[in-house]
Structure 1
Amino acid sequence: MNSQRGALVWLDQFAGYLEMERNYSSNTIRAYVNDLKQLITNEGAEGTKEVLDFTPEEKAEAQTSVVAENQSAQGTEEKQSSAWMEVDGLRSYIRQIQESYSRPTVARKISAIRSFYRYLKREQLIDDDPSKLVRGPKLSRRLPACLDREEVTRLLLAPDDSSLGVRDRALMEVLYASGMRVSELCGLRIQDYNAAAKEMRVIGKGSRERVVLLNDSAQAWLERYLADHWSKLAGGRQPQPDNPLFVSRQATRLSSRSVHRIVLKYARLAGIAKPITPHTLRHTFATHLLEGGADLRVVQDLLGHTTISTTQIYTHVSLDRLRRVYMTSHPRA
């Protein structure tokens, strides 16, 4: 068992730490694991055995190997030494990925690396944290794409009256009315929808639960979909509380990628030229609320942001509204 295999077992333990102690989502953990496998193996995610596929026997053998390699023949307690664990090796790796990936991707990979080293240091698996001595790229904060009200109307009117069309209309109405993330939408069950209160219970990042609200239009389309079309898509089955709210034509839960394709399809049909994803509807939801005078803290709660700074990026659009008010109200404007 070589030191690389032992490091991959450390990575397996780190993944468990992210899940159990940090409460990270499965998508975030998967991204971190793939980024760190690329660092450890220096050959990308392909071609290596899945970290989480190690058997208990392999893990025990790897741990024994790591301990043995961390001790010299005289019994000193030197820690495992590999290129990726040295400052020069880490800097070399970062230079390599900067030549191959965009700045946001490089920043994400470095974030994963720093978290991993902090974990190893905390567990006393390494003496020094080389990531403290490397710098990531500076990122300019990009303003989120946003649809105007006329574009939203065109998008929502694009689906037809088929079962799939009604499902897609209800899906996009819910995204725009609630501002929920696409992963939250895909995770919805029928029992998460409270028709009487016009609200939904969603599980957001870090498994945090919150309530989102629906407007009259979103509720009307959702009721039509559930009453007349859910069973048609589900092979004639009647909806049960634990069933997925939005289903495919194979009666399975919609994936995030499927929702992305749905929104992109209707954006094209509606003649919307700007790039659009399901997250665009989340941005649009927040922007339109702030333009309408909503309090920033309220928008923060509705979006499920843990910090107000994340929500503040949407205030740039409110400046346009403030400018219009200023230009029409100030006597010398």
Structure 2
Amino acid sequence: MDGRGGSLGGAVSAFLSDALHVRGLSEQTVRAYRGDLEDLLRFTEARGLDVVQGLSLEVLRDWLWASNERGLARSSIARRSSSVRAFTRWGSENGVLPNDPGVRLRAPKGASHLPRVVSADQVRELLDGLAGRASGDDPVALRDLALVELLYAAAIRVSELVGIDVTAVDRGRLTVRVLGKGGKERVVPFGVPAQDAIEAWLARGRPALAARAAGTASPALFLGDRGGRLGVRSAYRVVARLLQDLPGEGPSGPHTFRHTAATHLLDGGADLRAVQELLGHASLGTTQIYTHVSSARLREVYRTAHPRA
């Protein structure tokens, strides 16, 4: 296609549509692209630039500089740089832009933080507390217990968790089929505690929430309070409430359990490539961050326990 001379907003819309419907990127990735590129559009519109031909390296650098002046974190600026480079690369490859102005764009790398990991004892204490609340057969408590057990047991992303249908759970083989990034499907195992929590949720919790649905019954494994499929934000709030009182720095969301599960697997002697397959990482390098976490934990144990540390 040749969209040169067209509106910048139209080009952004076409890019986002292509990312979601043609390339099959996750909704979370496209949402991040949209937020960053909408900010770019506001920046360019304020300067009277509304055609794609006017998008230059200087404009992009000014936009990132303005983001820095507004106090955005380095990680946010790095993400914005990545988003706009994906857009300009797509524009150049599809004839929307005469060239790729983002190819030479650089931004400060985000601060290097290791993922937040909670200890096995903390996980056990947290799950015991959830089990106590679920013992009264409150449907929301039963759901939350099953949700956290599965997050930790299968080390899955929250987007994968809320996308699971009841039919994707093999309750005999203790596996669940999830749809990961890029529409890639994989089957991951879970343990007996997660199985018990899922069985209790399906038998005594899910029917109560499903009865609240106004229309057709949802096929989703996890339901929201109104009987529809549980959303990512709702699942995030469930986990954030549980983790907010635990000691430790870093985000308090569902990804904490994914990080924690991966680190505990490596601590227990799991093979790195097996963990890569479990997590659904395309690159082994992405999985290797957890070896750094394990090493950091080991050094801390050594420092506090060895008499000559």
Structures share fold, TM-score greater than 0.5: yes
Report the residue type matching 1:202 in the other structure.
V
Gaps of 5+ in 1: 45-64, 67-79
Pair 1:145-2:116 in alignment: yes
Pair 1:212-2:188 in alignment: yes
Contact 2:259 2:290 survives alignment (8 Å): yes
Contact 2:89 2:103 survives alignment (8 Å): no
Report the residue type matching 1:302 in the other structure.
L
1:89 matched residue in structure 2 = 59
Pair 1:182-2:182 in alignment: no
Distance 1:20 1:165, change over 3 A: closer
1:131 matched residue in structure 2 = 102
CA distance in 2: counterparts of 1:320 and 1:132, whole angstroms: 35
Deviations 1:64-110 (A, max 9, x none): x97xxxxxxxxxxxxx532xx12222221110011221111111111
Pair 1:287-2:263 in alignment: yes
Pair 1:6-2:7 in alignment: yes
Aligned ranges for residues 25-44 of structure 1 at < 5 Å?
25-42=26-43
Match of 2:247 among 260, 273, 277: 273
How much does 1:122 deviate?
A: 1.2
Number of residue pairs the alignment of both structures matches: 289
1:158 matched residue in structure 2 = 129
Report the residue type matching 1:145 in the other structure.
R
Report the residue type matching 1:144 in the other structure.
P
How much does 1:157 deviate?
A: 1.6
1:309 matched residue in structure 2 = 285
Distance 1:321 1:15, change over 3 A: closer
Higher Rg: 1
CA distance in 1: counterparts of 2:61 and 2:13, whole angstroms: 24
Match of 2:201 among 225, 228, 234: 225
Contact 2:218 2:229 survives alignment (8 Å): no
How much does 1:242 deviate?
A: 6.2
Distance 1:234 1:141, change over 3 A: same
Report the residue type matching 1:143 in the other structure.
L
Aligned ranges for residues 44-83 of structure 1 at < 5 Å?
81-82=53-54
SS of the aligned residue for 2:224 comes to coil
CA distance in 2: counterparts of 1:16 and 1:128, whole angstroms: 21
CA distance in 2: counterparts of 1:19 and 1:324, whole angstroms: 43
Contact 1:189 1:241 survives alignment (8 Å): no
Pair 1:98-2:68 in alignment: yes
Task: Indicate the larger mover: 314-323 or 171-180.
Answer: 314-323
Identity, % of aligned positions: 38
SS of the aligned residue for 2:103 comes to helix
CA distance in 1: counterparts of 2:236 and 2:96, whole angstroms: 41
Match of 1:167 among 119, 143, 154: 143
Report the residue type matching 2:288 in the other structure.
Q
Contact 1:4 1:41 survives alignment (8 Å): no
SS of the aligned residue for 1:121 comes to helix
Gaps of 5+ in 2: none
Contact 1:233 1:247 survives alignment (8 Å): yes
What's the C-alpha RMSD, in Å, of the aligned pairs? 2.8
